[in-house]
Amino acid sequence: MAAGAALPALLLLVAAALCAGPADAALGVNWGTVSAHRAPPSVVVDLMRANRIGKVKLFDADAGVLRALAGSGIQVMVGLTNGELSTIAGSAAAADAWVQQNVSRYVGRGGVDIRYIAVGNEPFLTSYQDQFQSYIIPAMTNLQQSLVKANLASYVKLVVPCNADAYQSASVPSQGVFRTELTQIMTQLAAFLSSSGAPFVVNIYPFLSLYQNADFPQDYAFFDGSTHPLVDGPNTYYNAFDGNFDTLVSALSKIGYGQLPIAIGEIGWPTEGAPSANLTAARAFNQGLINRITSNKGTPLRPGVPPADVYLFSLLDEEQKSILPGNFERHWGIFSFDGQAKYPLNLGLGNPVLKSAKEVPYLPSRWCIANPARNLDSISDHMKLACSMADCTNLEYGGSCYGIGPKGNVSYAFNSYYQQQKQDPNSCDFGGLGMITYLDPSMGECHFLVGIDDSKSSAIASCSGPCCAVFWGITALGFWVFMYLRMMVSA
Ligand SMILES: *[C@@H]1O[C@H](CO)[C@@H](O)[C@H](O)[C@H]1NC(C)=O
Ligand SMILES: *[C@@H]1O[C@H](CO)[C@@H](O)[C@H](O)[C@H]1NC(C)=O
Ligand SMILES: *[C@@H]1O[C@H](CO)[C@@H](O)[C@H](O)[C@H]1NC(C)=O
């Protein structure tokens, strides 16, 4: 290139760099799909677009979800599940196939704007012991090669969403250090991320700190200042988020990567399922977080530098998640399972409040309740069974349906199961104790749900003819055999 042309080009580049300044943190959401009531992916994509959400993090690479994201302009992080790690770590060909099937196929004009691949989900979690740890770097190496071959390496970056338990035990942020057994792998990971220009991704949960620790000062979990600030040398911390973030900054500094950008892979607050999980608290936390991030204030160790990206957890409630950690696990959504806004929230993206989903294909307005004409003395096994299959967490202490009485409890459980079974009439029998009604049995805050018709996306539900009758026959028979066995066991 001639010098005469190079100079203006150089000036242009310098000007662009100066004008751009430090990039603002961008807000995204996690979209999990552990639910029996899945709205069609296109409805969910429309919901995100209506709320101007420009980034989404997925936990796998579901083809239906990715197809719906095509042409949406939404930037996507796809996920390689922990279960896939060993295969990808052990085989370059498997990594090639993964990238081909789950990334290359979708990118390009009018396709899906895939920017990141999450390699595993919290693979270093203490409770996994070290079952996934050794796969991470080999899997990243293989996937990176595959991206290079597919000509995507400069566009699609690999990241590893980590749980904060990789470093969280420090008493003050400046003492932050990775768990000893992770030092080597974290150093390799940081080197990898640094060379590819990808952020360190961490999940931060002040709610869990509060939930798990009775001494945790409540106001320190939120963003309105704290009567229990944490003093750390010259720095004072007024909220758990900043403290946690800087603990990670310290841990990264100690392995020589104190400047590595950090993105928040998951952060949020559940709306029920524990005493501190409620609408008011969820709104206060999420709004406080968003205001904090959009102010570009940064933290004491990174003043003026907000996180690279922040993905709220979560977009939607997922009523089939494990409740081992607590009933709140199924209630993290800023929207209910069917895309209805749970509370007013300004995402800072242009809309003053959340907009709810439109054109949700609900099943007919029908509910299953306990037959009022029947004696309900022998009902508890039916209720237990319904709740073992469908979601009844709302009935427990801290839930929106707590305190609706014994009969209300049974009706709620019956309906939950009936909707999960897509209103199959057999699923409201319960030995003659159930009854279908066309009057909404919701009481106050306690909403009796109507399921979603996902027949368009499910081969089984859309079956018809004799084969279908046989399928439902077997399903119903299995249900009653299971129920009978349960009664025998508990008798
Ligand atoms: C692509 O991702 C899907 C869904 O996460 C997974 O089931 C599938 O095995 C992946 N494809 C390959 C070739 O590994
Ligand atoms: C909601 O949770 C907050 C935060 O833990 C708590 O202070 C408040 O008392 C709760 N509100 C209700 C109505 O339970
Ligand atoms: C309703 O069910 C919940 C959950 O099983 C239980 O905690 C509560 O005590 C029940 N209430 C009544 C009145 O039976």
- Establish if 346 belongs to a structural domain: no
Q: Are residues 383 and 265 in the same domain?
A: no
Q: Are residues 241 and 314 in the same domain?
A: yes
Q: Which residue's CA is the nearest one to ligand 2's atom 11?
A: 278
- Establish if 354 belongs to a structural domain: no
Q: Return the residue matching tokens 């709004």.
A: 287
Q: Which residue's CA is the nearest one to ligand 1's atom 4?
A: 61
When divided into structural domains, the chain yields a total of 2
**The residue type at 287:** Q
99 touches ligand 3 (CB under 6 Å): no
Of the bound ligands, which one is closest to the alpha carbon of residue 285? 2
CATH number of the domain to which 126 belongs:
3.20.20.80
Q: Whole-angstrom Cα distance, residue 471 to residue 457?
A: 18
Query: What burial letters (b/e) apply to 468-484, b meaning 16+ CB within 10 Å?
Result: eeeebeeebeebeeebe
- Establish if 375 belongs to a structural domain: yes
Q: Which residue's CA is the nearest one to ligand 2's atom 12?
A: 278
Q: Which of 277, 307, 330 is the last residue of a domain?
A: 330
* Cα 484 to ligand 3 centre (Å): 23
Q: Which residue's CA is the nearest one to ligand 1's atom 10?
A: 98
Q: Which helix (H) or strand (E) holds 386?
A: helix 380-389
Q: Are residues 322 and 378 in the same domain?
A: no
Give per-residue pLDDT as tens, 21-75. Answer: 345 569 999 999 999 999 999 999 999 999 999 999 999 999 999 999 999 999 9
* Cα 172 to ligand 3 centre (Å): 42
- Establish if 156 belongs to a structural domain: yes
Q: Are residues 180 and 322 in the same domain?
A: yes
* Cα 407 to ligand 3 centre (Å): 10
Rounded (5°) CA angle 83-88-89:
100
Dihedrals φ, ψ of 50, to 5°? -60, -30
Residues within 6 Å of ligand 1 by CB: 60-62, 97-98, 101-102
The tokens describing 252, both together, are 């990264």
Dihedrals φ, ψ of 267, to 5°? -160, 140
- Bridge-based pairing of strands 235-237 and 230-232 is antiparallel
264 touches ligand 2 (CB under 6 Å): no
Q: Whole-angstrom Cα distance, residue 63 to residue 113?
A: 14
274 touches ligand 2 (CB under 6 Å): no
Residue pLDDT tens, the chain, 491 long: 344 444 444 444 444 433 333 455 699 999 999 999 999 999 999 999 999 999 999 999 999 999 999 999 999 999 999 999 999 999 999 999 999 999 999 999 899 999 999 999 999 999 999 999 999 999 999 999 999 999 999 999 999 999 999 998 889 999 999 999 999 999 999 999 999 999 999 999 999 999 999 899 999 999 999 999 999 999 999 999 999 999 999 999 999 999 999 999 999 999 999 989 999 999 999 999 999 999 999 999 999 999 999 999 999 999 999 999 999 999 999 999 999 999 999 999 999 999 999 999 999 999 999 998 888 788 889 999 999 999 999 999 999 999 999 999 999 999 999 999 999 999 999 999 999 999 999 999 999 999 999 886 543 333 333 443 444 444 455 545 545 545 444 44
Q: Which of 457, 377, 490, 476 is nearest to 417 (CA)?
A: 476
The tokens describing 396, both together, are 């427990």
Q: Which of 308, 330, 352 is the last residue of a domain?
A: 330
Q: Which of 37, 86, 84 is nearest to 59 (CA)?
A: 84
Q: Which helix (H) or strand (E) holds 411?
A: helix 405-420
Give per-residue pLDDT as tens, 427-484. Answer: 999 999 999 999 999 999 999 999 999 886 543 333 333 443 444 444 455 545 545 5
The tokens describing 407, both together, are 């009969």
* Cα 481 to ligand 3 centre (Å): 26
Q: Are residues 195 and 306 in the same domain?
A: yes
Q: Which residue's CA is the nearest one to ligand 3's atom 14?
A: 406
Q: Which of 330, 353, 381 is the last residue of a domain?
A: 330
Q: 9: Cβ–Cβ under 8 A, 6 or more apart, which residues?
A: 1
Helices 466-490, 380-389: crossing angle, 10 deg rounding:
120
Q: Residue 282 in contact with residue 271, Cβ under 8 Å?
A: yes
Helices 405-420, 380-389: crossing angle, 10 deg rounding:
40
Q: Are residues 381 and 290 in the same domain?
A: no
Looking from the CA of 245 toward its CB, the CA atoms found within 13 Å total 28
Q: Are residues 53 and 107 in the same domain?
A: yes
Rounded (5°) CA angle 356-311-344:
35
Active site residue 84: no
Q: 66: Cβ–Cβ under 8 A, 6 or more apart, which residues?
A: 76, 78, 102, 106, 112
Q: Are residues 44 and 192 in the same domain?
A: yes
DSSP, res 188: H
Helix, strand, coil percentages, rounded to 5, for the chain: 40, 15, 45
406 touches ligand 3 (CB under 6 Å): yes
Partner residues linked to 368 by β-bridges: 436
* Cα 394 to ligand 3 centre (Å): 10
- Establish if 421 belongs to a structural domain: yes
Pocket test for ligand 3, best of 409, 414, 446 (most atoms within 8 A of CB): 409
Active site residue 122: yes
Give the structural domain span for 143.
23-330
- Establish if 423 belongs to a structural domain: yes
Partner residues linked to 436 by β-bridges: 368
Q: Are residues 304 and 378 in the same domain?
A: no
- Establish if 7 belongs to a structural domain: no
Q: What's the distance, CA 396 to chain centroid?
A: 23
Q: Are residues 238 and 192 in the same domain?
A: yes
**The residue type at 453:** D
Q: Are residues 325 and 371 in the same domain?
A: no
Q: Whole-angstrom Cα distance, residue 350 to residue 21?
A: 22
- Establish if 9 belongs to a structural domain: no
Q: Are residues 296 and 411 in the same domain?
A: no
